[in-house]
Structure 1
Amino acid sequence: MLTRTALLRAETAAASAAASAKKNNGECVEEGLRSLADGVRIVGETMKARTSASSDTTLSQNVITSLSRQEEAFKQQTAAINELVCTLKVISSALRLEIKQAS
């Protein structure tokens, strides 16, 4: 049987080894997390830089395309309104003529 002193020494050694392993493991985990965070930060910065450069061009192209579509729609609406105005003028003239003839 183990003596009390031997048992305490064994427990102390085991606890010390466990604490050391936890510390080493914890340090490794912490270091790994820091490295991961640094990597994520670098990738994020790189993506942001690439996105800014390409999105400026893409955004400009999208705005130009949208404005072109809006301009075309505006031209069509203006043409339709002008046609309606002409039609109303013809109707108005015809009504005036009828009123004159009826009087």
Structure 2
Amino acid sequence: MPKKLITSRLMASTGGFKRSKMRDPKRMLTQSQKKRWSDVIGDLDETDMQIFDGAGQTVAEIRVKTRKLMHEFPSKKPVVFIDYLTLIQSNECYGGIPIYR
């Protein structure tokens, strides 16, 4: 899923917005929703969330990115969510048995 769509869904679920109204927030949101809009953007901006939306990533690439995050933010433990596990490329071994796609 593209980063832009994930961000849009996060904003909608966090702020309680209908995604159809988010297409033109200046015109379609009420005044209280507009205030909440800026609060939601501020809250999401304060997180250390990283979204990697590249297709065909390997297990090794995901491991490297996770370790980099652990080094970058040593006081925090990363939480990794993977969407579409079937799209992960694998040519590694598991327990000595090669895994092929």
TM-score band w.r.t. shorter chain: under 0.3
Higher helix share: 1
Normalising by structure 2, we get a TM-score of: 0.24
Normalising by structure 1, we get a TM-score of: 0.24
